[in-house]
Structure 1
Amino acid sequence: VGANTDADWPGFRGPERDGIVHGVRITTDWSASPPVEMWRRSIGPGWSSFAVRGDLLYTQEQRGDDEIVGCYKVSTGEPVWRHRDAVRFWESNGGAGPRATPTLSDGRVYTLGATGLVNALDARDGSVIWSRNAASDTGMKVPDWGFASSPLVIDDLVVIAASGQLVAYDVRTGHPRWFGPPEGGGYSSPHRMMIDGVDQILLLRGRRTTSVAPVDGTVLWEHSWQPAVSIVQPTFAANGDVLIAAGDAMGGMGVRRISVAHGSAGWTVEERWTSRGLKPYFNDFVVHNGLAFGFDGNILACIDLEDGTRKWKGGRYGNGQLVLLADQDLLLVLSEDGELALVGATPDQFREVARFPVLDGKTWNHPVLVRDVLLVRNDHEMVAFRVSLANR
């Protein structure tokens, strides 16, 4: 259900927004074959990740008083073009810069800035196709940590979350086509799912998870949960159930599995279980082989999706991020201190198989692996590494 794109990594957390890399197996003996640095480049602050197509990567950053959408060469790190908007966002916890990740679709790059600017740019040269301000379009004020939703392209719409309110723009003109319910807040991105054959957009917002129809924003179903801060993405559990997470201003509160079904009487949503064995805050989790892997505070953890019980907990990575290499049951973890680690994505025990330093300083950005190129960044530099691929 990815966007209309031939991109290698079309945006936030990949084609399905689930943080899963398919079709790649890497060498795990980094003492013998460590990642090889291709290039390292200074970059402006921001917590954006990367979108990648061919030899071009796209990310967002702050340079002085300008918010930047930047295009760089994957092979060399050389800048190709930069789009500038004369806005600056800063707050004391996360610092300056944009929070969202660009989205590639049909030769365009779509972005949401920290103050609410929505851009549709030509991916080749950065020229502006259209631009909007989601804050003024929705009347939502800039949240404490800035607008953080990465755009979602569905058919002829680009959908963003202005804090807790969805707004869908026409991809051709930028004209707003529909608005979702306005109450609630949050930092999660809109997430496309197919449930019981019905295409829908999910958003974690404030104390509730809301599903709407992509065509017009009609609310299909909602589920309420007391914790008030929504940051991470929902994901599928087994049998089409949905796994959601929530927290408060101090950290993650746990995860919940809900059963969503559509029948003659309409939509039904039931809580299957709630677990504190995994408490992600702003660190997204992944689902693999009936398990969920993610952060319990600053320690990695694994829970069983059958009942939410914890299988293991281990390794201190701070507020890191991760992706799953599904073909080899392997987590690639980027710690808050800028270290890469390889951890087994299996239920038996916590097992770190390799570790390698890549960045200095606070690192909250999601890593991206495209074939044998690993891209990482934080608030002041980005680096590309060549990793050795494993024989199948």
Structure 2
Amino acid sequence: MKTLTSLFILIITFFSASAQIYQWRGTHRDGIYPDKNLASQWDSVPPLVMTIEGCGLGYGSPTITPDGIFVAGMIDTTGYVFAYSPEGEKMWQTAYGPEYTNRFLGSRGTPTIEDGKLYYSGTFGDVICVNVKNGKVLWHKNIFELYGGEPIKWGYTESPLIYGDKLILTPGGNGYNVVALSKKSGELIWTSPIENTTNAYCSPVLIRHQNMDLIMMNTSNNLLMLKPEDGSVYIKHGLTDRRGNHPMAPMYADNQVFYSSGYGEGSVMFNTDDVNHKLDTLWQNSDFDCKLSGMIIVDGTIFGTSDRKKQWMGVDWNSGETLFESRDLKPGSFVMADGKFFMFTETGEVALAIPDKNGFTIKSRFMIPAENIIYAFAHPVIDHKKLFIRYNDRIWIHDVTN
């Protein structure tokens, strides 16, 4: 019997693409990276390959490609995309517009890169397409000015999603809640005019359901499944949290959709009703309220953090039963490669852990070399057996080879 993890991989293999896409939380946006033969334990701190400094304030992860390392950050009040060679030498920086200067200073999203072009969306609606070789802006649009909507409380947060020739974004304007822009020109291809909904700090994902591709995402008021060809709604399920904060993209496998949100909102597992185009509740777990950690499934256990209880948790995919709770590590974010968790807490600790269906065992841990660490929200990245940790204007790159 296939595990649910393998089902996610199987589902994604049906997608066709002309070029590899480098993006938020890995190729499939699921936090699972393909690297193998990684160390099962570190003696202390894994070897530091390089440190990148001066990439501006921000909470987004870097994007790694054969061309280099790309990350967004704020200097003074301006947002930039920075490019570094694979050896860590700065190649260019390109401004995209003003950035967030209230609480939680800096950029939010992660660049999306395909076929030599970088796409990024800033806090105030500035969307750019940039040549990765030289930083030249190929096009620049402000989706709030063009399509209405406005920055939400903590700043518009979305890592652009590519589908074919389209770039998917969520301005949240009247009649333009979700839009698809041309990758080539930035011109509007379609709009999905869903009423009363705005961006919810959530980046969309692609799923394969009933032999069709669908865009799945949370907005402020709805969990959406849209047809990427024209933006038409396949399923729209209302969300009730009054804050409208739903950063964690839903998960999908075998006709089921899993949703979780913080502030005590909790988790719900749905079955898809394709006749009536709606979601039916299978189970709920009010304690598993993931807000920022990311979620990964291992052997039928959904791993993540509880926002209200401030702890790591795991729940059973089929029943919703809580399988474990752990305060062995502060809350944070995590990714997976080679059957191992790479975890980064909001207070700056990095940990290597081995998961099983009933929890995880921490094998090694260390603190990043920074002072007064708070709000370390950038998710780790694994690429070619290197671990990338971003905090504020620095990126530490460690060799995690076996």
TM-score (norm. length: structure 2)? 0.88
Shift of 1:177: 1.2
**Cα contact 1:5–1:106 (8 A) shared by 2:** yes
1:65 maps to 2:114? no
Distance 1:56 1:72 in 2: 5
Query: Which of the residues 227, 232, 244 maps onto 2:248?
Result: 232
Distance 2:239 2:207 in 1: 20
1:147 maps to 2:156? yes
Question: Structure 1 residues 221, 130: CA separation in 2 closer, same or farther (over 3 Å shift)?
Answer: same
Give secondary structure in 2 for the equivalent of 1:68: strand
**Cα contact 2:314–2:358 (8 A) shared by 1:** no
Q: Percent identity?
A: 22
Shift of 1:266: 5.1
Shift of 1:78: 1.6
Q: How does 1:137-286 map to 2 (within 5 A)?
A: 137-162=146-171, 165-180=177-192, 181-185=194-198, 186-227=200-241, 228-237=244-253, 239-247=254-262, 251-262=263-274, 265=275, 267-286=277-296
1:120 is matched by which residue type in structure 2? C
2:95 is matched by which residue type in structure 1? R
Q: Residue 108 of structure 2 corresponds to which residue in structure 1?
A: 99
RMSD: 1.9
Once structures 1 and 2 are overlaid, which stretch shifts more, 111-120 or 285-294? 285-294
Query: Which of the residues 363, 383, 389 maps onto 2:396?
Result: 383
Structure 1 residue ranges without an equivalent (≥5): none
Shift of 1:267: 2.5
Shift of 1:4: 4.4
Shift of 1:252: 4.5
Q: Tell me the alpha carbon deviations over residues 318-344 of structure 1, each in whole angstroms, 9 at most, x when there is no partner.
A: 44110022x42x211101111111222
Distance 1:291 1:78 in 2: 41
Distance 2:329 2:238 in 1: 31
**Cα contact 1:343–1:350 (8 A) shared by 2:** yes
Q: Tell me the alpha carbon deviations over residues 195-243 of structure 1, each in whole angstroms, 9 at most, x when there is no partner.
A: 1112111120123201111111111111123223211111124x23111
Distance 2:347 2:271 in 1: 37
Q: Residue 23 of structure 2 corresponds to which residue in structure 1?
A: 11
Task: State how many pairs are aligned.
Answer: 375
**Cα contact 1:161–1:167 (8 A) shared by 2:** yes
Q: Tell me the alpha carbon deviations over residues 46-72 of structure 1, each in whole angstroms, 9 at most, x when there is no partner.
A: 111121111501110001232101111
Distance 1:335 1:2 in 2: 35
**Cα contact 1:68–1:85 (8 A) shared by 2:** yes
1:38 maps to 2:49? yes
Distance 1:287 1:5 in 2: 27
1:314 is matched by which residue type in structure 2? S
**Cα contact 1:255–1:276 (8 A) shared by 2:** yes
Distance 2:287 2:213 in 1: 31
Q: Tell me the alpha carbon deviations over residues 77-99 of structure 1, each in whole angstroms, 9 at most, x when there is no partner.
A: 2211111134232222x12x220
Question: Structure 1 residues 31, 199: CA separation in 2 closer, same or farther (over 3 Å shift)?
Answer: same
Q: Residue 133 of structure 2 corresponds to which residue in structure 1?
A: 124
**Cα contact 2:257–2:272 (8 A) shared by 1:** yes
Give secondary structure in 2 for the equivalent of 1:91: coil
Shift of 1:359: 4.6
**Cα contact 1:212–1:218 (8 A) shared by 2:** yes
Query: Which of the residues 113, 117, 125 maps onto 1:108?
Result: 117
Q: Tell me the alpha carbon deviations over residues 23-60 of structure 1, each in whole angstroms, 9 at most, x when there is no partner.
A: 4231122127x411112232311111121111501110
Question: Structure 1 residues 319, 300: CA separation in 2 closer, same or farther (over 3 Å shift)?
Answer: closer
2:89 is matched by which residue type in structure 1? E
Give secondary structure in 2 for the equivalent of 1:243: strand
Shift of 1:22: 2.2
Q: Residue 92 of structure 2 corresponds to which residue in structure 1?
A: 81
TM-score (norm. length: structure 1)? 0.90
Distance 1:162 1:51 in 2: 23
Structure 2 residue ranges without an equivalent (≥5): 1-14
Q: Residue 9 of structure 2 corresponds to which residue in structure 1?
A: none
**Cα contact 2:264–2:287 (8 A) shared by 1:** no
Query: Which of the residues 34, 48, 54 maps onto 1:22?
Result: 34
2:96 is matched by which residue type in structure 1? D
Q: Residue 8 of structure 2 corresponds to which residue in structure 1?
A: none
1:344 maps to 2:354? yes
Q: Residue 363 of structure 2 corresponds to which residue in structure 1?
A: 353
Q: Residue 48 of structure 1 corresponds to which residue in structure 2?
A: 60
Q: Residue 142 of structure 2 corresponds to which residue in structure 1?
A: 133
Give secondary structure in 2 for the equivalent of 1:345: strand
Distance 1:110 1:4 in 2: 16
Question: Structure 1 residues 359, 154: CA separation in 2 closer, same or farther (over 3 Å shift)?
Answer: farther
Shift of 1:253: 2.0
